Structures are given as C-alpha cells and as structure tokens.
A and B are shown apart, each in its own frame.
Chain A
C-alpha cells in the first residue's frame, strides 16, 4: 500500500512504544539495557515454545487452543523467573549504591524498571508478530484474508500489535507490584488477562470475526493500563510517610 500506508501501519503498531522509549527509557542507560534484556528473555521463552510445538505444527485449527494455553503458561513462568532475576539485580544494585553512598532504588525507579521490562516484552512481540508481516505493506498492493473482508490484513496486524504491546508493558508493572507486595489478586490478574487476550484472538478465525476480535484485544490492553494506573496512583497517593516506609523497607532489604 505504498510507503505512506506502510509507515502508517508501523506507527499504529509501534508509535506508543516509540513515545514511551523516547520519554521514559532513553535518558537512562540502565533502562535501555533492561529493555534489551527483557526482550531477549521473551525471545528465549518463544524459542522454548517453538521447540516444544515444532513437531505438532502446522496443525488443525483446534490445536490453537492447547498451543495458546501452553505458550501463555511458558511465558508466565518465564515472567516469574525474570522476577527472581530482577530481585537479585535489585539486591546487587542496592549493595553497590550503599558502597558508593548513592541513594537506593526508590519506588519510581522500580516502576520505571517494570515499564522497561514490559516494553522489552512488548517490542519483541511486535517485531516478531507484527513488523515482519508489515513489510509487504510498503509495496503498492494490499491484502485481505477471506475471514476478514472489513480490514486489510496489515491493519489487523497493526492493531493487534498495538494491543499486545500495551498489554505486555503494563502487565509487567502490575506483576512487579504484585510479586513485591505479595498481592494475590494482582498476581493472578496478569496471567489470567494474558490468557484471556490470547484466547480472544481466536475470535478472528471466525468469518468476519476481526470486527469483534481486534476491539477486544484493545479493550484488554486498556483494562490492563487502567489497573496499572490505579496501582501507581495508589502507590503515590499516600503521604510522605508511605514513601518513607518504602525507603526504610528498601534499606532493610538491601542488607
């Protein structure tokens, strides 16, 4: 659909990621490294899924169900492993900061690290499931699949990419908060939302399903963003006492 269309699709899918990167991530080298590390971790999880499912694909449509469930399961397990790694890194960073008499990690830092981790996941997802599919969009032709005559394939891919990018980014914020504070509801929220969003994409397989499937993915993303926003709002709403508590909690944990 020419360079004009192709650029449009790329901006739909990755525009918010780009904005987030430029405004939040780019100024702090550690966050850039976090984005890369998190993306790498997500790719490793994808490789594990691929190895597991190689023997069974390509398969019938019903194989999508166990496929999605196992893949989401593996990715959530990797998320927990990532959290463990993060704790070790946080511990190390705090010790280092104590040695050089620099301040410890505060809440805002942790939120930023969470956003960067989520963004790493989201960008890796976009690059793999969306960007490569968008390359033909820069040519003069367009493509509609039989089960979706309302939107070009590229528009569907761009919106899905956008939805999952936001979902992954803000899921990580929720997850970090939930695992640190041991809040069970939020701990469950992340994998359940991830699974729901993934299973809802199967609506796109139905004839004309993309009319419902794409908005549903975006709705999942918006809900996740809202929950993450509420968490951060709550975290910063209490007085300095809470913040002081946070600091004290950190100094004790750094020992």
Chain B
C-alpha cells in the first residue's frame, strides 16, 4: 500500500453479482429492492441450507443456490408467526455454483403453469412446468444478489471470519445499494408509477420479415404463412436469463431455416407468402404477440403490407433444443380450423420424411390429445383473437416441459444441443417451403434445402457464451453490439414507439435479428452478391424509401437493399404513449380477455445498483472514540487554562 487511495481500496471490496430488481404490475409489486431509501448494511452469515437459517440479529444471509427456493418458501410460510425471520434478513446473497444439483431435479423461477392466466382454456392448474417454483412473482422487501464465481469465494471467506470471532464486532458486513425510485416516490402500482415517472413499461422491438420481399404499398394478396419464434426469456435475476432452450432454441432454428430458404430460388412463384416474426416480451404477458396483433388491427405503419385476414397459417417454433430422441411434437388448439391446420401437420411430416436419410432422422408427432390445449406460447394470443386460427406450436416435449431449467439462470448453452436445433431447423425450413407451395412441392426440391449447422453453432457461441459473445464474427459483420455478454430479459421500452426506432434504444438481440433477416431476405440476393459494389452505402437511412440500410457497423458502412424487414414495437396494449404525458394505462376494453389478465409489468428506475463488503465497528465503539476525542480536547483546554493561571500568579507574585 503506497497511498491513502490504496488504503481506501483495501478497505472496501466491490462485489460482482446479478441483482433481483423491483417490478410493478397493476395490483402491486414483485421482485426485490432495498426496503427504504438507504443502503442495507448487515454482517454476513452463511448457512448450509434453508432450514438451518436462524437469525438473532439483522444479517446478510449467504446461501448456496440450492437453498434459495426453500428459504423463500420458509419466509412465505412464516408470514405472521415468525415474520421476525424476514425482518432480520437485511439482504440475501446467493452463491455461484457449477450446477451440482444432485438432490434437485431442476430449477425454474417461473410458475408450474407459466402465464396460466393467458391460456385460452380453463384448465389453469395443468402442470406444464413441474419444476416451477414461482419465485419470480414473489415480492421481497430486501435486496437479493446472485454472486459471480470469484466474489463467491471472497464472501465465503468473510463469512467464515465472522463465524470465527463469534459475531463480535468488528465484523465483515455487506452493503447493498438497490434503492428503487418507486420506493422513493411512494408509487407501488404500474398506474401510479407511470404517472409519477418513476418506472418504465417492459418491452422492446420485435422483428418481422418477408421472404421473398413484398411490395408493401400494393400487396399481391397471397395468403401468408407466418412463422413465429421468440427472443426473450426471464429468470429471478434478470441479468442472467439466457433462455437457451426456452425459447431461443426456437429462434435459432427459425433463423437457420430462413438462411436455408434464402438460398432457394423461385419462392415468388409459390402460392403463399412466407413471413417470419421474431417476438420479444413474451415472457411478461405476451407483449410482442399481443402488440403485433393490435398493430394489425389498427393497420399501422409498422405492419404495412400485412393484414389480419391475409394470415392463413401460423407455425410457431418453440423449445427445440432438447429433443434428444429426435421427436418433435406438434401442439394445436382443438378449436383450430381443421383443413389448414392439418396441412401444417402434413407439411411437417413430409419434411420429416425427406430427412429420413439424414443423420438426425427427426420425427414429427401430434401432441397428446389429453393435453388441455397448446402449451404456453405466442400462439395463445392468436387463438384469443380468433379461436379458429390455423396454428401449431412445434416443441421438443409432449405433455410436460422437457426443459428442467425453464426461465432460470441455468438455461444456458449446456442445456441445448446444436445438432438437435439444426435438425429442427431443417424440419421447419422444409415444412415452410411445403406450406408455401400449398403442399405440392416434391421431395427432390425439399432435399435441396440444406441447413448450415455451423451457422447454428456460431449463433450459440454469440448468444450464450461469454467468449466470443456478441463480439463474434457473425454478429460483428452485421452490427456493433453495445455489450459483449447479453441477457435475454426483455428490459424496459426505451424512447417512444417509432416505425424507424433509434438504434440506441433497441436491444442487441433485436438488432441482430433484424440485420440477419434483412440480409437473408434481400431481394435478388444472389445477383446482388455477385456485384456488391452496386449497393448504395449508408449509415442508417436510405434515399429510396423502399430500401433499408443493413449491416451498418462501427467498422464499415451498411448497404441499401430492398428487403421487407421491419421493427414492430412490443409493449402491453393496455398502455398508450403520448408525447406530452408519456406512458399511461388505458381503460380496459370489453371483451379483451388477454388485457384483463395482463399484469402490465413495469420496472422501477434506480440510480445505481451496487454491492460492496467491508469491516465495520459497532456503533458503540465509534461513540467511545468520539467521547475519547472530546475528553482529550476538553482536558487539554482546562489543563492549559489552569497552567496559564498558575504561571500568571507566579509572575505576579514575583
């Protein structure tokens, strides 16, 4: 240590961790936050499991991650009798672990039937997600952090030191700073916090694209086959919500399918038009799908070229990363129109047949008729709008989720298989071609549709690994990411809903998907590729209003191309945006079942969120030091005055 700043650095240690933040809905709050306006400070105490937690004084509780659900359950049950337990918890720190869950079969922060309130059927108690704990929806009055690996070792050592001295001061304390603006403003529901500007609604930008590119001002009127996937997930700790299997494996399969289909010629001669839609905000009230349908209904600029009646069939690609037995299940709602829905199933079966010589040999089966209906999926929004919607959801599971880590920090790259996703992509690509050709395409053409497995592998590396992360080659060639490791939590809607949103306000994943789809669905792509110099260079807009600027990065300019790839805002249709007053909650329309069930999630503002540890004395000790200082000063005062008096007397006498 060479200087006072070095001393300060040695005194305070900043920890790395992922916080759980405060969300609000129309009825109240959920998530975690500091209880008031001040930092939460308490000595760190470690416990092995949920049941051994005994607190005699306010403490920062350090638990292994396997104890989180059990501990929160204990707090919930103790509500009332020993709610003193919850009052003694100043903060909660969860240790990082390498997923050594021998006792627990899985972990999911979502409920047993995720978003059951939106299901278009009555059996809301069906257990789609048996490992669901529902902790995502709990309201906690203390901050919770998931620690990084390095910080976990440090904090364990500090807790051990505290144990060794028997919790006698000076003790190692953790200081949490997770003060939320909504707490400070006293607004505890969505409506009040939006009015007081202490929160923002959840949302982002979905992306839709047409292959081949359409003339949006004068559409051909071809029936549309809409292929859907989602790009957002969730977890108890929003900063680590990879969602690799659920739902991004579906998105990867769809993007790889688009890549394969873009190589095919003659798509404009087919009977139907293919449109791809990658939604966001689905985990928090199906924001993407509901807003998309609302935009269609109001015929807005965002969806120019599409209209509700032209959507003939819907194929949603759900979780497909864990179909280790190579079987994919087709889920449909009983009320779906028979003929067009059957056509989708047949197209998928034909695709599977065409792949029987491949290494993966995927199979397609209809889901069990004992299921109450479609699993939690964006298709639910379409079914609510029109129960006869000819739509299916392609999933890796039949009656219950295969994904044991749905909506948790463990749904990462180790939870999916690249070959399985590539196999699903082949199925989807060939099935979509079949559907576009009205199920008339022959096997030879189908077999020529080849999915690039290394593309799937590259996307997994970009989206789910720290290295290379979003700074991978695939992403960097299309756009410049704002950060290299991204979470797939949808986040708050930034800026105002705009047809050409400011790229600054769009999440990296949405921007990547937009650029990817625009690049692949470029009109006459093969010809333009031979003569790249013919494209006009651009940074964000193109002179020709028919064209869009794709692949504009910090390193090189983009090029203007003809492509029907557009952003669609994703936010709750219960909200409206006004220039002067910002976001506000709109009155509920009659007959809007989904709107009635919508919690309308918002996230509080905060100034900083941080976590640090240091050694602290008891306040008694500080007071003693002050007393000592004051005494010494007072004593010296009197001593000097007395001495002065004595010497003055002596001098006078002399």
Which A residues are closer than 8 A to B by beta carbons?
1-2, 4-5, 7-12, 15-16, 18-20, 22-24, 58, 108, 132-133, 135-136, 139-144, 152-153, 155, 158, 162, 232, 236-240, 242-243
Contacts and interface: CB of A to CB of B under 8 A. Distances in A.
Interface string B618-632: 010111111111101
Given A1-B625, A133-B7, A162-B632, A140 B41 contact: yes
10 contacts: A4-B623, A16-B633, A19-B633, A58-B2, A108-B647, A133-B7, A140-B614, A142-B614, A240-B654, A243-B654
Interface string B2-14: 1010011011100
A133 B8 CA distance: 10
Interface stretch (B58-66, B105-113, B555-563, B637-645): B637-645
A142 B617 contact: yes
B245 interface: no
Interface of B: 2, 4, 7-8, 10-12, 41, 170, 175, 614-617, 619, 621-630, 632-633, 636-637, 640-641, 644, 647, 650-651, 654
A19 B640 contact: yes
B654 A155 contact: no
A67 to B, nearest CB: 16
A6 B625 CA distance: 9
B11 A11 contact: no
A4 B10 contact: no
A16 B616 contact: no
Contact of A11 (B616, B626, B650): B626
A136 B9 CA distance: 10
Given A5-B617, A236-B654, A12 B629 contact: yes
Contacts of B2: 58
Contact of B11 (A18, A19, A139, A162): A139
Contacts of A135: 4
A5 B636 contact: no
A144 B625 CA distance: 16
A9 B8 CA distance: 17
A16 B631 CA distance: 10
* SS class, residues of chain B in contact with chain A: helix
Contacts of B626: 4-5, 7-8, 11
Most buried by B among A4, A238, A239: A4
7 interchain residue pairs of minimum CB distance: A11-B629, A15-B633, A8-B625, A141-B614, A8-B626, A16-B636, A5-B622
Contact of A133 (B4, B629, B630): B4
Nearest to A135: B4
Nearest to B622: A5
A29 B640 CA distance: 19
Nearest to A141: B614
Contacts of A236: 647, 650-651, 654
Given A8-B629, A11-B632, A16-B633, A144 B640 contact: no
B146 to A, nearest CB: 24
Given A5-B626, A133-B4, A240-B654, A143 B10 contact: yes
A10 B629 contact: yes
B647 to A, nearest CB: 6
Given A132-B4, A141-B11, A141-B616, A9 B629 contact: yes
